[in-house]
Structure 1
Amino acid sequence: MLPANHLLRRIDQCLDTGELREALADHYSARGRPSIDPELLIRMTLIGRIYAITSERRLCEELRYNLAYRWFCRLTPGDKVPHHSTFSKNRHGRFRDAGVFRQLFEATVRRCIGKGLVGGKDAAIDASFIEADACWQRKTVPGYLPYVANAGRPVREWLADQGSISTKPGGSKDFEGVSRTDPAAAWSARPGRARFGYALNALVDTPSGVALDVEATPARFAEEVDAGRVMLGRAADRFDYHPKRIAADKAYGSAGFLGFVRDQGAIPHIPVIDRTQQTKGKLPRTAFSYDRDTDSFTCPIGKTLRHYTFHLRTGVHRYAADARDCEGCVLRKTCTKARRRTLVRLDNEDARDLARAELETGLFKRSMRLRRGVERFFADAKGKHGMRRLHLRGIRGAEEEFLIGAAVMNLMILARPQRLTDKPRRGRCIPAALTPAAISARSIEHDVIVSPPRRYA
């Protein structure tokens, strides 16, 4: 009844649930009525994400009469389908305590690495807004949240994570209150109208499109940048993944993040957040030359601006000229209105200079083209797998949905027919088969030749 090339048949060949069984073994009792097989619930969850079935009631209903779904879940036509409430009981208990979905996702990453799909040269980081399951009208300030004993699970989890009720998240300028149903979600007007939502943060190996890590955060820019650090560090620890080049948009172009990428041994192909030209008609900082040996600036007429303070929290060095030098300066009107001219230099200015130097190189332009792989990841998650709006609430619920979605998309890459037959893709360049003359003829300026990105099947 099921065709040999059916999608679920191909995904079943790439799926190994042995580790999940071991992780959940201690959570089930050997006495009493037989428990529902956890592998059955995991396979049902995968079907729901593959075919964008966001309702667990509808998933259980379709599993009753769809033979392909029954075959994938190892159910015979006469077996009983679990009740939809079984998902909630296991998700908020056994699965969450054992970290099942994180293990499932990391298993797909290791399989992609074992198949040679992850090149380890180019990676991209980005975040996309996912709407939370929270009505915009049910908004209040944290002090007026429901009493803890009567609150729902997302509210209780949020209060436990906060430790105490805070009135404003750190780094938030336009705080508009919290949701009474999902207080962990952030109020954001990105994109379009304002809504509560989360950020799906992803680290993607751009030539292959394999998701190496995902992280759930409230939809705030500051937390998305912090999630980028977490994902890079976790991928390095768990998969020994150290890309040579990391691409991202300008939101990640702060000095701190550029310095972190450089310290990881990668070249940041990221536009720099630079406000040095916002001088309101005065001389910009580029008009002053910096001397690294003396740690000082020199103005256009040759006067010195010496270092006088450093802010440890912000990583900002401040330099100032002598007030007596500025009093009789011929450029005073075009330089400053203050008593003396001051300049700032960030602690990671070297990383900013490195990122600026890469802007006009061919590798940077190539990284910007390959960065479309992470955008394709978000497009498939929302358009093909039903992740425009979350089904679960709370930061843990969002993380579980993101992990399941990323695991499914990695399985879809593994399940392509050419992956299962171990045959090279059509048009794929194999570096070992190229001679130095052929490489020179193609004017390749990087060390690995990769075919242009192709549309997913």
Structure 2
Amino acid sequence: MSFSNNTIRQNKIVTCFIEELVPQDHLVRKLEAAIDFSFIYPLVRNLYSTNGRPCIDPVVLFKMLIINIVFGLNSMRRTCREIEVNVAYRWYLGLDLLDKIPDYSTWSQNYIRRYKDSDIFEEIFEEILTQAYQKGFVDFSTVFGDSTHQKANANKRKSEKKIVDIAKKKYEDELLKEINEDRECIGKSTFESIEKSECVFDEETGKEKEVKNTKTITVSTTDPESGCFHKGEKERCFAYSHQTMCDKNGFVLGVSTVPGNVHDSVSFFDLYDKLMKGPYAHLIKNVSLDAGYYTPAICRTILENNQKPFLPYKRPMTKKGFYKKYEYVYDEEYDCYICPNEKLLIYSTTTREGYRQYKSDPKDCSQCPLRGQCTQSKNMIKVINRHLWERYREQTEEIRHTKKWKEIYPKRKETIERVFADCKENNGLRFTRLRGLKKNQHHAWLIFACHNLKRMALWSWKGA
């Protein structure tokens, strides 16, 4: 009995002094002062049973994840070991020095049984962003977008070739409708889809056959949901791509995770559409992106939402010594191009990809003194492709010459690029130990939620 009394006395002493052991300017104090995590309880109430033994406090579980990400511990096993000996971490979790730390496997079991099919990760991200906005830290007037690759937990040498269906693009139906309208006007046959067919080898017949809307890709046998990524001098690897948007203050507004082999101009639409359906869509006036997003479809989408796209100059992909496309003048009234030798290129047809083709008269080209700088075509015909939505890209190009562009676009390196650099260096965004698209999307929400939380905590503490 005397032993129990001593234990109670020790607990009271520990509770009294643990507060004094944590420095007043420690980051955990700033995190605790920034936000009250009790909002998690109503979000997860339906995931817990009212019967059985008491569960581990869900706020403690999610705070353990915050410690894991904010302090760059990466491993949950290591996080639990650090919490055992770190007084500041114990104070943040509301635990005394003698309290038992949850086992490292506790979180993984809770994820499997409760959280994997829930929206709790996105809801935590949204709540932190909302509180940051209410404190005046977030500015939605201009959003900066880009994507970054996170190396997957997959061996690059363990892969196989696989034929997969081509994912339908968001704008495909609208573009296909305009393509077919154009072709019907000139008596051409219509298309059923934008994507071309592919010839594949049929093992049963021993011959090649045409398969529509498919393509051959390299798939990891370790993590099939990741994508094979290879760009420039970078090493080929399997990765996930996080399409991200932030404001001018570096607060992340949204993130969408896709396989690493999905191009930025394709994954852009999912995140953008989500922002446009959100409560702050009416506040967004400008969208700043890099050259990878400089497509007619993206320019059209942004402009039709009454927003201004701020994109960089993109060098024409023309052979050295040949005329650039902008040196051929487009006459909008007569719908034709005028070449540097003042000859006409007349509209001929509209391709499956949505490009209107303008062709020259071979009689003009055969005698042209500038043909060596214009075309190497054997049939003496110069062809210029103009996208059906090219006018939107031309409007974007006009914006590039304004003072507003010179003010906004250079901030990309101070905003979205800075966010990626910080999260890769400090928050575990460089590589992932998780496998599967859903798990990595959940983890991405947590990483950027922690990024926003830390930023809000530091700003709130500084202004206090």
Judge conservation of contact 2:327–2:339 (CA < 8 Å) in 1: yes
Q: Tell me by how many angstroms 1:195 deviates.
A: 2.0
Which residue is 1:340 aligned to? 381
Q: Tell me by how many angstroms 1:178 deviates.
A: 2.3
Distance 2:39 2:269 in 1: 28
Which residue is 2:267 aligned to? 227
TM-score by length of 1: 0.78
Judge conservation of contact 2:140–2:280 (CA < 8 Å) in 1: no
**Secondary structure at the counterpart of residue 364 of structure 1:** helix
Judge conservation of contact 1:254–1:272 (CA < 8 Å) in 2: no
Judge conservation of contact 1:271–1:355 (CA < 8 Å) in 2: no
Judge conservation of contact 2:142–2:285 (CA < 8 Å) in 1: yes
Distance 1:196 1:404 in 2: 22
**Secondary structure at the counterpart of residue 214 of structure 1:** strand
Rg comparison, structure with higher value:
2
Q: Tell me by how many angstroms 1:421 deviates.
A: 6.5
Distance 1:375 1:301 in 2: 45
Distance 1:189 1:345 in 2: 29
Which residue is 2:449 aligned to? 407
Which residue is 2:166 aligned to? none
Which residue is 2:416 aligned to? 374
1:285 and 2:325 matched: yes
Which residue is 2:180 aligned to? none
Q: Give the one of 204, 228, 236 matched to 1:194.
A: 236
**Secondary structure at the counterpart of residue 239 of structure 1:** coil
Distance 1:365 1:7 in 2: 37
Distance 1:347 1:93 in 2: 50
Distance 1:405 1:115 in 2: 21
Q: Tell me by how many angstroms 1:371 deviates.
A: 0.7
Shift in alpha-carbon separation, 1:334–1:23, aligned structure 2, 3 A: same
**Secondary structure at the counterpart of residue 278 of structure 2:** helix
Give the aligned residue type for 2:274: R
Which residue is 2:50 aligned to? 30
Q: Counterparts of 1:175-254 in structure 2 under 5 Å?
A: 175=217, 177-190=218-231, 192-206=234-248, 208-220=249-261, 222=263, 224-241=264-281, 242-254=283-295
Give the aligned residue type for 2:444: F
Judge conservation of contact 2:265–2:295 (CA < 8 Å) in 1: no
Distance 1:102 1:172 in 2: 32
Which residue is 2:356 aligned to? 317
Distance 2:46 2:139 in 1: 37
Distance 1:401 1:96 in 2: 11
Q: Tell me by how many angstroms 1:273 deviates.
A: 4.1
Which residue is 1:385 aligned to? 427
Q: Give the one of 42, 48, 66 matched to 2:86.
A: 66
Distance 2:360 2:265 in 1: 35
**Secondary structure at the counterpart of residue 117 of structure 2:** helix
Judge conservation of contact 1:246–1:267 (CA < 8 Å) in 2: yes
Q: Tell me by how many angstroms 1:304 deviates.
A: 3.6
Which residue is 1:148 aligned to? none
Distance 2:329 2:162 in 1: 49
Distance 1:172 1:45 in 2: 39
Shift in alpha-carbon separation, 1:141–1:298, aligned structure 2, 3 A: closer
Which residue is 2:102 aligned to? 82
1:40 and 2:79 matched: no
Distance 1:45 1:54 in 2: 9
Structure 2 stretches of 5 or more lacking a match? 1-20, 164-199, 202-210
Distance 2:296 2:449 in 1: 32
Give the aligned residue type for 1:12: E
Judge conservation of contact 1:204–1:374 (CA < 8 Å) in 2: yes
Q: Which moved more, 1:74-83 or 1:376-385?
A: 74-83
Judge conservation of contact 2:146–2:289 (CA < 8 Å) in 1: yes
Which residue is 2:126 aligned to? 106
Q: Which moved more, 1:227-236 or 1:373-382?
A: 227-236
RMSD value over aligned CA atoms?
2.9
Judge conservation of contact 1:23–1:98 (CA < 8 Å) in 2: no
Shift in alpha-carbon separation, 1:172–1:254, aligned structure 2, 3 A: farther
1:307 and 2:327 matched: no
Q: Tell me by how many angstroms 1:272 deviates.
A: 4.7
Structure 1 residues 153-209: Cα deviation after superposition (integer angstroms, max 9, x where no partner)? xxxxxxxxxxxxx999x8989x4x322221122222346322221123210102x11
Which residue is 1:128 aligned to? 148
**Secondary structure at the counterpart of residue 369 of structure 1:** helix
Distance 1:302 1:194 in 2: 47
Structure 1 residues 114-142: Cα deviation after superposition (integer angstroms, max 9, x where no partner)? 11122223221112221111222333345
Of all paired residues, the percent bearing the same amino acid is: 26
**Secondary structure at the counterpart of residue 96 of structure 2:** coil
Structure 1 stretches of 5 or more lacking a match? 144-165, 424-457
Distance 1:101 1:129 in 2: 20
Give the aligned residue type for 1:47: I
Judge conservation of contact 1:272–1:355 (CA < 8 Å) in 2: no
Q: Give the one of 267, 274, 277 matched to 2:308.
A: 267
Judge conservation of contact 2:287–2:310 (CA < 8 Å) in 1: yes
Distance 2:328 2:84 in 1: 74
Judge conservation of contact 1:11–1:412 (CA < 8 Å) in 2: yes
Judge conservation of contact 1:272–1:352 (CA < 8 Å) in 2: no
Give the aligned residue type for 2:338: T
TM-score by length of 2: 0.76
Q: Tell me by how many angstroms 1:289 deviates.
A: 2.2
Distance 1:281 1:26 in 2: 67
Give the aligned residue type for 2:358: Y
1:54 and 2:94 matched: no
Distance 1:250 1:299 in 2: 27
Shift in alpha-carbon separation, 1:140–1:334, aligned structure 2, 3 A: closer
Q: Tell me by how many angstroms 1:408 deviates.
A: 0.7
Q: Tell me by how many angstroms 1:413 deviates.
A: 1.2
Q: Tell me by how many angstroms 1:235 deviates.
A: 1.9
**Secondary structure at the counterpart of residue 387 of structure 1:** coil
Task: Give the length in aligned residue pairs.
Answer: 393
**Secondary structure at the counterpart of residue 134 of structure 1:** coil
Which residue is 1:117 aligned to? 137
Which residue is 1:11 aligned to? 31
Structure 1 residues 263-313: Cα deviation after superposition (integer angstroms, max 9, x where no partner)? 2322222125453x61564544333322223322234455443323223x5
